[in-house]
Amino acid sequence: MKFPIYLDYSATTPVDPRVATKMIPYLTEHFGNPASRSHAYGWKTEEAVEEARGYVAALLNADPREIVWTSGATEGNNLAIKGAAQFYKTKGKHLITQKTEHKATLDTMRELERQGFECTYLEVEENGLVDIEKFKAAIRPDTILASIMMVNNEIGVIQPIAELGEICRAKGIILHCDAVQAAGKIQIDLATLKVDLLTITAHKMYGPKGIGALYIRRKPRVRIEAQIHGGGHERGFRSGTLATHQIVGMGEAARLARAEMASDNERIRMLRDRLWAGLSDMEAVVLNGDLERRIPGNLNVSFNYVEGESLIMAIKDIAVSSGSACTSASLEPSYVLRALGRSDELAHSSIRFTLGKFTTVEEVDFAVNLLKTKVAKLRELSPLWEMYKDGVDLNTVQWAAH
Amino acid sequence: MAYSDKVIDHYENPRNVGSFEKGDDSVGTGMVGAPACGDVMKLQIKVAKDGTIEDARFKTYGCGSAIASSSLVTEWVKGKTLDEAIGIKNTQIAAELALPPVKIHCSILAEDAIKAAVADYKQKHANELPGAPEKQVAHG
Ligand SMILES: Cc1ncc(COP(=O)(O)O)c(C=O)c1O
């Protein structure tokens, strides 16, 4: 086993070696600018770019002409949301999203509010899912755009995008969907889903970092305003010389994902269930997010009565994400877990395990044993655990504020 | 977050973990912090007849620096009088453990825990101690 064991596939994935192999010639040999129409160097790379576009479109069951290359999903979400809001602003100024979106969506919405738009941030249910009735109730006559992610990055829950699509289409509302954590993990069929704009990124599906794609529906046609102006690449939606090697990598990653998703998922789900079986065997652990409506590779668990940062420190043999941002600049507990109604303590003591196609049974078993030992050790140290064991209800304790 | 070797040492081999027998009169207990803030420290001192601290125990819910700060002060208070113990400053704790600025609050909490434990002991023995009992130190 290679340490630390990587269980953070939702943060990013390694590039599949087959993808890397396919990329390399486009750095050294086929280096032409795909916009160069006057010679074979350009023709060669343009062909590669279009082949890749085809693979990405096929993964989404879309038309290649509906795919625009971006630098990743942060740009994709910005382009989709700002682009559509600005194009349709004469129709209305109201936007809808939910509190558990990625910052790339939330901060974009905040910026649009600054520009004069109004945004509703929907609460989610305790299982992390958006409530259809609450969504409907949030719609106003001047609502122009809704942005709801397909799969949440922290808790892996799958939102009811098909139903939201029907609702939005009937009301003439543009629906944008951040599908970063869904692509290559669940089926996305844009021929049937009534989604107008959809964002994906390569580095969450065994492709390289710094490349993504935005799907922009042609039928019925959706319009957006470009955010980056220049040479008019990508039909004016996104100027800038195409990063050929990155695009080739994303295309190959999409091709492999489409071909291998079903078999990979089966294995990954088995491993995730094994992990959960091991962890749920412990006392006072809480699963965050719905278990059924969830992608196979995600498990988000809170270990009550231990503090998150010390837990992360104790389990440095595995690479995971913590629901507590203590290790970065702020001391904020995860806003996603807070939105599920979890207490600060439970949010702080949560660990996100995300498994991927290179995860093994041995690694999962190692993680289970490690968690069992370390959580027990930290609970030995914890005055809260002692009080819990003595039958004290921690909610009735008067804590000295600090 | 990069921790100093001393923090890691205390975190991996915490000193004096545990609790004294409930109802022991020679024990003063201080509990400071709040779960919602991410740290709770419980510090106990056991005071000998001659008024010096003969033993100490702690339990801490918190980050590595909080655990190390409380582990360290259990070592430091031993052998000290109550007045010497409350003279321990958070800056000394922070310096000993080389705490980064974002972790200074852990050392403050440890200092507060000593004061709270001493205050608890003094309150229990208010009648026996010479002079007026010290005002309870409010944590905040
Ligand atoms: C749900 C979601 N949206 C957007 C992003 C941002 O993607 P990128 O890193 O490609 O900018 C991420 C990844 O961090 C994500 O998980």
Over residues B46-66, mean pLDDT? 96
Question: Which of A151, A180, A214 gets mutated to test ligand 1 (max ligand atoms within 8 A of its CB)?
Answer: A180
Instruction: Give B-chain residues touching A343 at CB under 8 angstroms.
Output: 35-36
Please name the residue whose Cα sits nearest to atom 14 of ligand 1. A11
Whether A151 has a pLDDT exceeding 60, the answer reads yes
Spell out the alpha helix ranges (H) of A88-193: 103-114, 132-138, 161-171
Minimal-distance CA residue of chain A relative to B22? A390
The pLDDT confidence band at residue A345, using thresholds 50, 70 and 90, is: confident
Shortest Cα distance from B16 to chain A (angstroms)?
10
* Contact: A399, B59; criterion CB under 8 Å: no
pLDDT of A333 reads 82
Which atom, in ligand 1's list, is nearest to the CA of A203? 10
- Structure pTM? 0.92
pLDDT of A325 reads 53
The 10s digit of each residue's pLDDT in A197-213 is 999 999 999 999 999 99
* Contact: B36, A345; criterion CB under 8 Å: yes
Tell me the CA–centroid distance for residue B119 and ligand 1, in Å. Answer: 51
Tell me the CA–centroid distance for residue A313 and ligand 1, in Å. Answer: 25
* Contact: A401, B34; criterion CB under 8 Å: yes
The DSSP call for residue A37 is -
pLDDT of A326 reads 47
Distance CA A382, CA A91 (A): 56
Q: Residue A272: what are its φ and ψ, rounded to 5°?
A: -60, -45
pLDDT of A327 reads 43
User: By mean pLDDT, which of A1-10, A246-255, A316-325 is the weakest?
Assistant: A316-325
Closest CA to A352 of A78, A2, A4, A11: A11
User: What are the angstrom distances between the C-alpha of A109 and each of A97, A182, A288, A348, B14?
Assistant: 8, 22, 26, 26, 46
- Mutation for A interface: B5, B13, B32, B63, most A CBs within 10 A: B63
Let me know if A326 is a catalytic residue. Answer: yes
pLDDT of B43 reads 98
DSSP state letters, A49-115: HHHHHHHHHHHHT--GGGEEEESSHHHHHHHHHHHHHHHTTTT--EEEEETTS-HHHHHHHHHHHHT
Query: What is the torsional sign of CA B19, B21, B26, B32?
Result: positive
Closest CA to A327 of A344, A307, A342: A307
Quote the Cα angle for A382-B12-B26, to 5°: 50
The DSSP call for residue A324 is B
The size of the A-B interface in CB pairs under 8 A is 85
Closest CA to A112 of A130, A126, A94, A100: A94
ipTM, interface predicted TM-score of the complex: 0.90
Contact between A239 and A230 (Cβ < 8 Å): yes
Closest CA to A130 of A289, A324, A364, A344: A289
Whether B138 has a pLDDT exceeding 70, the answer reads no
Tell me the CA–centroid distance for residue A24 and ligand 1, in Å. Answer: 25
Distance CA A180, CA A150 (A): 8
Whether B129 has a pLDDT exceeding 70, the answer reads no
The 10s digit of each residue's pLDDT in B71-123 is 999 999 999 999 999 999 999 999 999 999 989 999 999 999 999 999 999 99
Place of tokens 């990124």: A201
Distance CA A192, CA A208 (A): 29
Q: Residue A111: what are its φ and ψ, rounded to 5°?
A: -65, -40
Residues of B belonging to the active site = 37, 106
Whether A21 has a pLDDT exceeding 50, the answer reads yes
Contact between A120 and A257 (Cβ < 8 Å): no
Enclosing H/E stretch for A351:
strand A350-354
Contact between B61 and B42 (Cβ < 8 Å): no
* Contact: A310, B19; criterion CB under 8 Å: no
pLDDT of A380 reads 96
Contact between A324 and A308 (Cβ < 8 Å): yes
pLDDT of A126 reads 97
- CA distance between the termini of chain A: 43
Distance CA A379, CA B10 (A): 16
Enclosing H/E stretch for A260:
helix A244-279
Alpha carbon dihedral B82, B84, B85, B90, in 10-degree steps, equals: 150
The 10s digit of each residue's pLDDT in B12-40 is 999 999 999 999 999 999 999 998 888 99
Q: Which residues contact A103 (CB under 8 A, 6 or more apart)?
A: none
Tell me the CA–centroid distance for residue A105 and ligand 1, in Å. Answer: 9
The 10s digit of each residue's pLDDT in A33-70 is 999 999 999 999 999 999 999 999 999 999 999 999 99
Task: Work out the mean pLDDT of chain A and round it to a whole number.
Answer: 95
Contact between A264 and A317 (Cβ < 8 Å): no
Whether A109 has a pLDDT exceeding 70, the answer reads yes
Task: Work out the mean pLDDT of chain B and round it to a whole number.
Answer: 91
Give strand pairing partners of A98. A122
Distance CA B80, CA B121 (A): 14
Distance CA A168, CA A251 (A): 30
Minimal-distance CA residue of chain A relative to B43? A383
Enclosing H/E stretch for B64:
helix B64-77
Query: What is the torsional sign of CA B18, B22, B27, B30?
Result: positive
Question: Which of A153, A186, A295 gets mutated to test ligand 1 (max ligand atoms within 8 A of its CB)?
Answer: A153
pLDDT of B127 reads 79
Instruction: Give B-chain residues touching A327 at CB under 8 angstroms.
Output: 1
Task: Tell me the angle at which helices B5-12 and B64-77 cross, rounded to the nearest 10 degrees.
Answer: 80
Q: Is A120 helix (H, G, I), strand (E, B) or coil?
A: strand
Whether B41 has a pLDDT exceeding 70, the answer reads yes
The residue that leads in pLDDT, A333 or A214, is: A214
Between positions 291 and 320 of A, the ones with CB within 8 A of B are 305-310, 313
Ligand 1 pocket by Cβ (under 6 Å): A 72-74, 102, 104, 149, 153, 178, 180-181, 201, 212
Over residues A2-8, mean pLDDT? 96
Whether A289 has a pLDDT exceeding 50, the answer reads yes
* Contact: B61, A305; criterion CB under 8 Å: yes
Tell me the CA–centroid distance for residue A154 and ligand 1, in Å. Answer: 11
The pLDDT confidence band at residue A402, using thresholds 50, 70 and 90, is: low
A 10 A CB-CB count for A231 gives: 10
Give strand pairing partners of A352. A300, A321
The pLDDT confidence band at residue A329, using thresholds 50, 70 and 90, is: very low
* Contact: B59, A309; criterion CB under 8 Å: no
Whether B135 has a pLDDT exceeding 60, the answer reads no
